[in-house]
Amino acid sequence: MHIFLTGASTGIGNAIARELDRHFAGSAFFSLVSRRKELLEALAKELDGRAAVYPADLSEPAIAETVLEQAVQEHGPVDILINNAGVQHIDHFTSIQNEDAEKLLRLNYLTPARLMRRVLPTMAERNNGTIVNIASIGAIIPTPYMAEYCASKAALAALATALAGEYKDTQIHFLTVYPGPIATAMAEYADTRYGKGVTSNVPFGTAEELAKEIRIAIAKKKHKLIYPAFYRGADLFRDFSIWLTAHMAPKPK
Ligand SMILES: NC(=O)c1ccc[n+]([C@@H]2O[C@H](COP(=O)([O-])OP(=O)(O)OC[C@H]3O[C@@H](n4cnc5c(N)ncnc54)[C@H](OP(=O)(O)O)[C@@H]3O)[C@@H](O)[C@H]2O)c1
């Protein structure tokens, strides 16, 4: 069981690796990818040798593909691909530099798309495989001052949903995850942009609980996971939630 996991160094990705390692009781092998080598190595050490680390900047899709190819050569075909690495910008749309916006799009959308295009033929040949994409509740309820982040996550979610249809007659399983606010470094970044405590009145989840829900959703072959559960209501009443978010969203400093 070869699991290729991006954004494994911290937060949700780190929690997913630990959760799946526990679940598969040591029988899974992880290819861990992100930029910070020391953090990946610390995780690999905890996984007791059941992991290889591939430090790489995934905002370059061609680099991401090369890393994937290397991991496949060294550890065999990928059974579970988890596109988790991502970055967020919180600012007025016109204040964000083109270069930064385009880098975000490459990391959050183009790299996951490239990795899926690379693993799918082999998964189809073997008629087996799981692809997990970590989108965001912002893909369903686009949030002011996170416009391009939400657009990138909506693109990723739409791609994965369409692909699930394209592969519906196979045993390849697509799971799209729509997290609401989760207490990770990304939430700390939001604090620096809005001011501490501004987002404290919205329901938050933890990376560990989300990882557990993802593990269960993989086992049950679910296609969609919204966590924390509070945000499932936002999905049900999408138009109202978009209206509310447009009126209530805080402005960055
Ligand atoms: N936290 C939330 O509230 C929330 C809500 C909805 C969705 N999400 C999504 O959940 C995913 C994980 O985020 P998180 O909350 O766990 O935040 P996080 O702790 O900041 O994790 C982000 C991960 O992405 C990696 N990464 C960032 N830029 C990269 C790059 N250029 N190349 C390679 N790896 C890169 C980081 O590793 P390195 O820095 O080592 O490269 C890190 O492992 C993201 O896709 C995020 O959009 C988070």
pLDDT(197) > 80: no
Which residues are registered as beta bridge partners of 10? none
Neighbours of 2 (CB within 10 A): 18
In a domain, 9, yes or no: yes
Which of 109, 149, 167, 227 is flagged as catalytic?
149
**DSSP string over 72-128:** HHHH-S-SEEEE-------S-GGGS-HHHHHHHHIIIIIHHHHHHHHHHHHHHHHT-
Percent of residues, the chain, with pLDDT higher than 90: 91
In the reported structure, the alpha carbon of residue 8 is separated from the centroid of ligand 1 by a whole-number distance in angstroms of: 8
- Number of structural domains (the chain) is 1
- Where residue 167 sits, what CATH number does that domain have? 3.40.50.720
In a domain, 253, yes or no: no
- pTM for the model stands at 0.97
Atom of ligand 1 nearest to the CA of 58: 32
In a domain, 241, yes or no: yes
pLDDT(201) > 90: no
Q: Is the dihedral of CA 225, 231, 236, 242 positive or negative?
A: negative
Catalytic (active site) residue 251: no
Q: What is the pLDDT of residues 213-237, one digit of tens each?
A: 999 999 999 999 999 999 999 999 9
In the reported structure, the alpha carbon of residue 241 is separated from the centroid of ligand 1 by a whole-number distance in angstroms of: 25
Catalytic (active site) residue 149: yes
Whether residue 156 contacts residue 83, with contact meaning beta carbons closer than 8 Å, is answered with yes
In a domain, 128, yes or no: yes
Q: Which domain holds residue 19?
A: 2-248
Atom of ligand 1 nearest to the CA of 35: 41
pLDDT(198) > 90: no
In a domain, 209, yes or no: yes
pLDDT at 199: 77
